[in-house]
Amino acid sequence: MRKIRLVNIVGTRPNFIKIAPFRQELKRRKNFEEILIHTGQHYSLNMSDYFIEELEIGEINYWLGVGPGTQMKQIGKIMVGLEKLLPKLDPDIVVVVGDVNSTMASALVVARLGLRLAHIEAGLRSFVKTMPEEQNRVIVDHFSDLLFTHSAEADQNLIREGIPPDRIFNVGNIMIDTLILTRSKWQASRILEKLGVQPKSYAVCTLHRSENVDNPETFAELLRILDAVQRIIPVVFPIHPRSKMRIDTLGLKKLVERSSNLILIEPLGYFDFMKLTENSAFVLTDSGGIQEETSFLSLPCLTLRDETERPVTVNLGTNIVVGRDKKRVLAEVNKILNGKAKKGSIPPLWDGKTSKRIADIIEEKVGC
């Protein structure tokens, strides 16, 4: 019996975090021939190479190198590159992760070529159709043959959309696999000493979503919220390139400069960021993955959005969706600092074994 030829496609920082444990699992098995394609959607050193090296992702077999450009240009370049490459590779199945543009562009090409597609992190829904990530999720899920979800809520989202239940598999959260597998390494990080901060004496902030940083009024509102929070506790802000650019182009630099306890730093590698996060008092974010990581770590998370596609982090975890309401944010911050933070539990199957479950299912369903 020949090996299953499986192609993994990645393009961004969150993709690397999710694909790392799955690729390691495939390497332990003798019946997979795995090929990794990197689209190059994240192309800067600290947004890409650091994660590849730290997470021991290994050799990138093919690099599309799409580089900078508008979303449409990146999507187009990815599709053209994959249209040429995938027929040559002739995979038994293509695996994509998450909800970024690389994921969606890959799914479209795979579908047009008549190949089988698996989606890791399927079924997430914010129910905001204007959100690019939501558009990507829906498209990818409806083209997928195997849909790997992280919660029962995600299963139900897919079933409501008419996707057959026999294509849906609740396997747990693959990001937690990475967190558990690398725990000893990221706990050894010296980032706190480098920044001169003590455990639980600071908060962490991340902002990158277009609805938060592309609109000058919205971004200014969020920076005013951060200004109010940093008056209570220092806020470390590893700033995404998109957010940094917007501060300059939208004329918000003075608003940032007046916040003396808002500590802007360059984006961090995975190990430094996880160490910084685990030792913070709480996190302010618009990131989906961080909502999950903080729930696993039992760390308070305040989500600066009006909704979340990860309600399990609210229903079971430590996440609170606060929107851009300064009064509510400050009220929750004060609760946290006064020892009254929301308590949570770890969702089912978030146990570090998701990659094994996915590989088992692919072996069963795609075995040659």
Paired strand residues for 170: 149
Region class of 298: left (phi > 0), else alpha (psi between -120 and 50), else beta: left
150 is catalytic: no
349 in Cβ contact with 304 (< 8 Å): no
CA distances from 132 to 104, 210, 249 (A): 10, 9, 22
Q: Which among 125, 130, 164 has a CA at the least distance from the CA of 147?
A: 164
Q: Which of 142, 150, 208, 240 is catalytic?
A: 208
Place of tokens 């146990």: 351
State the DSSP string of 184-208: HHHHT--HHHHHT--TTS-EEEE--
Q: Which two structure tokens, joined as six digits, stand for 140?
A: 């990818």
The sheet that has 235-238: what strands, in order across it?
262-265, 235-238, 203-206, 283-285, 301-303, 319-321
Residues with a catalytic annotation lie at 208
